[in-house]
Amino acid sequence: MTGIKKFFIGLLSCALCANDAIAKDCNNDIYRLQNPKECTETSESFKLSFSDTIGITSGALALVSGAIALLANNSHNETISTTTATRTPTLPKYDMVGSDIDEVHLASILSDTEYLSNSNQYNDIRVAYSLARGFSGNGSEIAVFDSGKNTIHGGNVAHFASGYIAPNASVSSYMVADRYGDFKSFYEIGNEINNATSKNTNIYNFSWSADISATDIRTRHQLISSTDTNFINSLIDAAHQNDAIFVWAAGNDGMTQSSALSAIPLHINELQGHFVNVVAWDSETGALANFSNACGITKDYCITAPGTNLESPLSTNPLHGTSFAAPIVSAGIAVIRQAFPYMKSSEITNLLFTTARDLGDTGVDEIYGHGMLDLERATRPVGTPLIPISEQFSITMRAAHISAPIGHKLQSKNLKFAFIDDFGRAFTTNMNDNISIKNRSIGQEHLRDPNTLDNMPNGIEFGIKQTDLLNGDGFLQTAQNNIISFIRHSGQISLGNTEFFHQTSFGISTPNNTPESMISGFSNIYTASILVGAKHGDFALSIGTPDTIISGNMYLRTLSGRANNGDYIFTNNKIDLTSVPSIEYRATYKSLSAGFVDNPSGRNEIYVLAKTKLSF
C-alpha cells in the first residue's frame, strides 16, 4: 500500500449502515472493521496518521478502523474513554535536588524568554536542571521521520526534538509522508530508516501512529505482514548497528491502549530495550491529555511527557498531540547520550523509566507507564555510589577520615575524583567534600612510648614505634599499626637544682595501602622531631615538635571518568607529604602529664594522662 486511504466521515457512516450487503472479504476496510477477530491475520497494511491535533483547511477527515484523526479539528474528543480516576493524579515534586547547581545559573535559565514560552511543560520535565548541568544534547543524532522540516507538522516535531531541551543535538528530517498526511509504503519507510542508520543516527523519532490498537496485534507474523519485512528489518538493523532508540507517539484516539505500532517490541524481541512509547500529559489540567491514548499493554516501556499548549516559533497557535510529546522525549534521550556516551540503549531507557516521576497508581500503570520524564533525576546519581579502585573492584563510597598531615595536603591540592552510580555512570565530586581530618592523638602516642620526661636516656637510642601519623580509612584506607624505625639522641645538662634536656629523633617509615583504597602506595616517609625542656624536682616543662614528615610522597590512583567505550579512566596523583610541624607544650608533675598541641594541619589538641609502673 503506497498511501493512506481517506474517507469522509459521512461516507463511512453510510457504509456501516449497509453491513449486510458487504461481502465476506477481510481486504474490505468496512468488513474488517466490523469483523476484527475474523480478520486478525490480514496482510493489509496499517493506515497511518500524524499524532497531533492541528487543523486543515476544509473538511474533517478520518481514517477507518478507529484511526487517529488526521489533522482533524479535535474530532477525537468525542471518543475519549477514561479507565480510572487516576487519569488525574498529583504530579510529585521533589525537594533538596540540584544541590550541585549554581543557583544564579539556574535562575538565569528559569527566567530565559524561550524557557518561559513553555514554562509549565519545561517545569514538568525539570529541564532547567539538565541545562544547568551543561547537558544540551551535543553529539547526539536525532532522525525525525515525518512530513519534512518545511511542513507544519514535520517542522514542529523537528523543533521539539532539539529546541530548548537539547539545543546542540543534530536533527535530520526524513520524509515518510507528504504535507497532507499521505504516507509512503512501509517498504519505502524502511529505506528511509536505513538511510538514517547509514549516517550513524542513534535516536529515531516517529510522531505518527497506526489505525488499530496495540491489542489488535497478536503475533510477530501479523505485525510483519501488516507492515513490511523491510520496515521491520530496518528497525532491527538500526538497533544492532547503531544501538538506536526508537521513540514512538502513542496516538491521539483517547483510547485505553496505544496504537498498534507502539506494540512493535512486544513482538520483535530484538527491539526490547530500544523502544520508548510516549503518552501526552496536559500540564494545565494535571492529567493525561484528553486526546492521548494511554500506555495500555506497552506500560513497561511507556513514559509520559507534556503534549498540550506547546508554543513553537513555527506556529501561530499552541500545539497539541502525542506528536510533540514524543520529540520531547527524544530530546531528553539526546541529553542522556551526551552526558553519558558510554551508556547502552537498554541502560538509557531503563534510566529514563527508573527516574520518571510516578503518576496515577503506584508503580508502573497502564495509563502513565513509568510516569513523567524527569531530566533532573535522570542527570544526577541514582542508588549507592561506588568508587572503582580498579577495573574489576569497587568499594562503597563513604567519607574518609584521614590523619592531619595527609588530610591537610590533600585539601591543599583540591583534587577531584569520579564515582559511579547504580547505572555505572561516572560523576565527578570534590575530594575535599568527602574527607575529614582525623587528629593524630599525640597524647595516645605518648602512652605507647616508654620514654618519658623523667625517664629520658642519655646518648643514642635505636628503636621502632607505632605511629598514627599516616592513618586513614574509607577510600583512603591505610594499613593499621604503621611503624616508624627511629634513631634518637638525648642529652642533659644540670645547672644547680635544674636539669635542662633535649632530644632529637629521625625516623623512616614505609606505610602500606590496602586493596580497598585509592591510595596506590607510598615512598619512604622520613620524619623528625625535636624536644627541649627543663626539669626541677618533680616538675618539668617542655616544648617541641612531635614527629613531622620532612620528606616523602603518597600516590593516589583516582577515577576521573569513563571513556566513550565505557572503559574507566584513571589518573595517577603524587602528593608531597612534607608537613608544617605541630608545636607541643607539655607540663609534667611526677606521673601526671598535661599538654597542648598547636596543630596547623588539624584541630588543636589538649590531653591529660597519667603513666606509672606497677611492681609485684
At 479-496, the pLDDT tens digits run 877 788 889 998 888 898
The arithmetic mean of pLDDT across residues 82-107, rounded, is 67
pTM above 0.75, yes or no: yes
Lowest mean pLDDT among 63-67, 104-108, 563-567: 63-67
In the chain, CATH 3.40.50.200 sits at: 7-378
Which residue matches cell numbers 517545569? Answer: 123
pLDDT of residue 16: 29
Q: Which of 321, 295, 332, 296 is nearest to 135 (CA)?
A: 332
Is the pLDDT confidence value at 10 over 70?
no
CA 454 distance to own-chain centroid: 62
Confidence of residue 454 (pLDDT cuts 50, 70, 90): low
Q: What are the backbone angles phi and psi of residue 592, rounded to the nearest 5°?
A: -105, 130
d(CA 554, CA 11): 84
pLDDT of residue 84: 42
d(CA 192, CA 197): 9
pLDDT of residue 4: 31
Is the pLDDT confidence value at 205 over 50?
yes
- What single letter denotes the amino acid at residue 237? D
Q: Give the three-class secondary structure for 131.
A: helix
pLDDT of residue 444: 72
Strands 275-282 and 302-306: parallel
Confidence of residue 456 (pLDDT cuts 50, 70, 90): low
Assess if CATH 3.40.50.200 describes domain 7-378.
yes
Which residue matches cell numbers 474530532? Answer: 75
Q: Give the three-class secondary structure for 153.
A: helix
Lowest mean pLDDT among 117-126, 250-259, 389-398: 389-398
The arithmetic mean of pLDDT across residues 435-458, rounded, is 72
pLDDT of residue 455: 62
pLDDT of residue 79: 32
3-state helix, strand, coil in the chain (%, to 5): 30, 30, 40
pLDDT of residue 288: 96
Which DSSP helix (H) or strand (E) runs through 227?
none
What digits encode the pLDDT tens for the residues 96-135? Answer: 466 788 889 999 999 999 999 999 999 999 999 999 999 9
Lowest mean pLDDT among 44-53, 116-125, 234-243, 512-521: 44-53
Is the pLDDT confidence value at 81 over 60?
no
Which grid cell is 71? 489533522
pLDDT of residue 35: 54
End-to-end Cα distance, the chain: 107
Which residue spans within 188-241 are E strands per DSSP?
203-206, 208-210
Cβ contact 402:431 at 8 Å: no
Which residue matches cell numbers 456501516? Answer: 16
Is the pLDDT confidence value at 384 over 50?
yes
Number of helices (H), then strands (E), in the chain: 16, 28
The partner residues of 400 in beta bridges, in order of sequence, read 435
Of the ranges 234-243, 480-489, 586-595, which is most confident?
A: 234-243
Is the pLDDT confidence value at 58 over 70?
no
90 vs 597, more confident: 597
Q: What's the mean pLDDT when you consider all of the chain?
A: 83
What digits encode the pLDDT tens for the residues 308-347? Answer: 999 999 989 999 999 999 999 999 999 999 999 999 999 9
| Burial readout 582-598 (b: 16 or more C-beta within 10 A, e: otherwise) | bebebebeeeebebebe
Lowest mean pLDDT among 110-119, 222-231, 257-266, 400-409: 400-409
Confidence of residue 88 (pLDDT cuts 50, 70, 90): low
For 613, counting Cβ atoms within 10 Å of its Cβ (0-12 exposed, 13-18 middle, 19+ buried), the class is: exposed
pLDDT of residue 254: 94
Q: Give the three-class secondary structure for 15.
A: helix
Q: Which of 335, 313, 319 is nearest to 280 (CA)?
A: 319
Contacts of 478 (CB under 8 A, 6+ apart): 470, 471, 472, 511, 512, 513, 514, 517, 519
pLDDT of residue 275: 98
The length of the chain, given as a count of residues: 616
Q: Give the three-class secondary structure for 148.
A: coil
Confidence of residue 193 (pLDDT cuts 50, 70, 90): very high
The arithmetic mean of pLDDT across residues 179-202, rounded, is 94
d(CA 476, CA 466): 19
Is the pLDDT confidence value at 13 over 50?
no
Is the pLDDT confidence value at 232 over 90?
yes
The arithmetic mean of pLDDT across residues 263-268, rounded, is 97
pLDDT of residue 68: 28
Confidence of residue 61 (pLDDT cuts 50, 70, 90): very low
Is the pLDDT confidence value at 21 over 70?
no
Is the pLDDT confidence value at 6 over 50?
no
Is the pLDDT confidence value at 518 over 60?
yes
The arithmetic mean of pLDDT across residues 241-257, rounded, is 96
For 538, counting Cβ atoms within 10 Å of its Cβ (0-12 exposed, 13-18 middle, 19+ buried), the class is: exposed
The arithmetic mean of pLDDT across residues 1-18, rounded, is 28
Confidence of residue 559 (pLDDT cuts 50, 70, 90): very high
The partner residues of 246 in beta bridges, in order of sequence, read 204, 275
pLDDT of residue 85: 40
d(CA 276, CA 296): 13
* CA dist 85 → 81, 130, 287, 307, 308 (Å): 12, 32, 10, 20, 20
